[in-house]
Structure 1
Amino acid sequence: MSDQIVPILMPKWGLSMKVGTLAAWHVEEGTEVNPGDEIMDVETDKIANVVEAADGGLLRRCVGQAGEVYPVQALLGVLAPAEVSDAEVDAYVAAFEMPEIEEDEEEVPSHLSVDLDIGRIRYMTREGEGTPVVFIHGFGGDSDNWMFNVDAIAADAPVYALDLPGHGGSVKTIDNPGLGTMVDAVVQLMDHLSIDKAHLVGHSMGGLVSGQTAIDHGIRVASLTLICSAGLGEEINADYIDGFVSAQSRKELKPKLKHLFADEGLVSRSMVDDLLKYKRLDGVQDFLEALNGNLFSDGKQAAAIAEGVAASGVPTTVIWGAEDAVIPQSHSGAVKGAKIEVISDAGHMAMMENAGRVNELIKDQL
């Protein structure tokens, strides 16, 4: 009956994750688990998050111990129906080959870079079949913002996630950066990759970029998934945007990042440190100040895409975190004819705080 035994494994979040800490179990042995149930908390050096069950079944063994560190794909638990004997479960656990720490040389390089007319653009990719999906991050973010989404969606389609100009590992020196700059980067990358048409998934400013791409290049866009998107209303939290741009220290930056999550505990030391390193790169400060001035000056959004997206006829899903403290959730209804989903217990980074539900909605849109 070993074919009825289903392992629960340490997840892999992002290309750089090698190990994770099993922080806590939410279920006990003997519990009937349903797909999507929250079963444990896992912490990495980047972020902590809840793990949802990929499969359903009776939890027969909690192999992993709370507080212990395990490599990616390590056996943490076992699901099996009651008719599978304890001896068979024990034999499965004993025979399971625990993985060693992954070596980079065995993986696809974490990121690729290409020199386009707009400058060097860095991106990550996952192979798959069908119409590609392009993930577009928000203001001050990068492709790693999609660490909980890329692999899940790659099961259904080829996936690409780029660093927009001025962000991540992409070009930092851009004269007067604005919305057009970002749209050009997306279209140029699609041209380079020979992507005629793609599903665009955009978060925050990335939603604005995705929507404007559909307006300007509708024939290139199969669908839109807009997550806590800019461009659907005028209001925006200037305390967050301006504070993020001006922050020069941990003390200044960390309180601003708390605006991003319903659970402020997700703002880790590593997250703050990584963003400070990014902000201290040559050209970044000038870029962010210019982009902020062009898109979000005086606490208001300069660009509006709701009518244009609706007129484009591109199938659109709008997803919002009910506790978004950066862009009001009331903007979610701005695109006429769009499917709307508001996710409780999630803030502006809804694709991180409730990745499971967001991934389901993206797949529905595909």
Structure 2
Amino acid sequence: MRQIYFTRSITIQGKRVRYQVIGSGEPVILVHGLAASSLWWRRNIPALARHYRVYILDLPGFGSMRAKANAITLAEATEWLQTWMQHVHIQRAHFIGHSMGGLICIRFAARYPEQVASLVLVAPSVLFHQTSIRANILPMLAFLTHLSPAFFPIVCYDFLRAGPRTTLRFARELLSMNVRQDMQRLRVPTLLIWGEKDTLVPSIFAPLAQHLIHESRLVLLRNAGHACMFEQSRSFNAAVLSFLHAQTQTQERNHTEKNVTFPLLDS
């Protein structure tokens, strides 16, 4: 089946937003992390788009939205995402969020559960202890030194596009934001994916995240770090598609059961 692909620009709250759409079917929204962009999903989009309508956007302040005039705060990102969905006429979608994007998706699902069909949280930046930017310098260096040659240029390019000021401002917000209660409130199907060798958001946090999120599933990817969706894209894509297909089948079955009618029996 031929995939539908197009790029659109719209204005939200006086700010220009560009997003891409590829594929057809139920909507899947990709939300990238700190100092990242839609480029981080390049090894996942083709596989997802064979079965779903994939929406790829850059958060304000990052990627193609790097202009200062587009900047928002991390706290505003949830409402911004909801407003964007209204503008593009998406009532309900599957969400896949990486790192900071995972945190945004958690906050969104806690506030707008009726708009979330399912969640895939990829090494979400949920910190279970107080930390500081200085304490994250060594993990960041470890992340950079273990990047694959194919991924290193993307990381550098996106960091330069975001700039140190925007990155630092979002990082400070990220480190001070507690989403534990939001995680406990979640009642949507959730898949957690972590790279076993993640240095930025260590996989030691994965079991605790799974414990906090009601009936969530956890997948650990071997030989993968923080950017596990790029580093182990085949395993990642297989896990995500298996999860999404299961949710789609469950929702279709529930819809059928709600609409089934039974013939009246003669007494």
Q: Same fold (TM over 0.5)?
A: yes
- Give the number of the structure whose residues are more often helix, by fraction: 2
2:204 match: 330
**Structure with higher RCO (Cα < 8 A, 6+ apart):** 2
8 Å CA contact 2:197–2:225 kept in 1: the answer is yes
AA at the equivalent of 1:168:
G
Q: Which residues of structure 1 form unaligned runs of 5+? A: 1-106, 244-254, 297-301
AA at the equivalent of 1:341:
V
Tell me, in whole angstroms, the C-alpha distance in 2 between the residues paired with 1:120 and 1:222. Answer: 27
Tell me, in whole angstroms, the C-alpha distance in 1 between the residues paired with 2:70 and 2:157. Answer: 25
3-state SS in 2 of match to 1:125: strand
3-state SS in 2 of match to 1:152: helix
3-state SS in 1 of match to 2:43: coil
- Describe the superposition over 1:43-99 as per-residue Cα deviations: whole angstroms up to 9, x where unpaired: xxxxxxxxxxxxxxxxxxxxxxxxxxxxxxxxxxxxxxxxxxxxxxxxxxxxxxxxx
3-state SS in 1 of match to 2:11: strand
3-state SS in 2 of match to 1:293: helix
Q: 1:188 to 1:341 in 2, by over 3 A?
A: same
Tell me, in whole angstroms, the C-alpha distance in 2 between the residues paired with 1:349 and 1:239. Answer: 21
- TM-score, length-scaled by structure 1: 0.58
1:286 to 153, 165, 169: 165
Tell me, in whole angstroms, the C-alpha distance in 2 between the residues paired with 1:153 and 1:138. Answer: 19
Q: 1:272 to 1:287 in 2, by over 3 A?
A: closer
2:252 match: none
Tell me, in whole angstroms, the C-alpha distance in 2 between the residues paired with 1:150 and 1:365. Answer: 16
Q: Of the two, which has the highest radius of gyration?
A: 1
2:90 match: 195
1:311 to 185, 188, 192: 185
Q: Among the aligned pairs, what percent are the same residue?
A: 26
1:278 CA drift (Å): 1.1
Alignment of structure 1 residues 14-53 onto 2, 5 Å = none
- Describe the superposition over 1:202-242 as per-residue Cα deviations: whole angstroms up to 9, x where unpaired: 00000000111001111111111000111252366845966
2:120 match: 225
8 Å CA contact 2:126–2:179 kept in 1: the answer is yes
Q: Which residues of structure 2 form unaligned runs of 5+? A: 245-267
2:62 match: 167
1:259 aligns with 2:149: no
2:235 match: 357
1:112 aligns with 2:112: no
Tell me, in whole angstroms, the C-alpha distance in 2 between the residues paired with 1:320 and 1:329. Answer: 6
8 Å CA contact 1:208–1:229 kept in 2: the answer is yes
1:186 aligns with 2:81: yes
8 Å CA contact 2:45–2:54 kept in 1: the answer is yes
1:124 aligns with 2:20: yes
- Describe the superposition over 1:105-128 as per-residue Cα deviations: whole angstroms up to 9, x where unpaired: xx955x433211162222221131
Q: 1:118 to 1:332 in 2, by over 3 A?
A: farther
CA RMSD across the alignment: 2.8
1:147 CA drift (Å): 0.2
2:106 match: 211
1:141 CA drift (Å): 0.2
Q: 1:127 to 1:186 in 2, by over 3 A?
A: same
1:79 match: none
3-state SS in 2 of match to 1:264: coil
- TM-score, length-scaled by structure 2: 0.78
Tell me, in whole angstroms, the C-alpha distance in 2 between the residues paired with 1:359 and 1:308. Answer: 27
Q: 1:256 to 1:339 in 2, by over 3 A?
A: closer
2:129 match: 234
Q: 1:156 to 1:116 in 2, by over 3 A?
A: same
1:362 CA drift (Å): 1.5
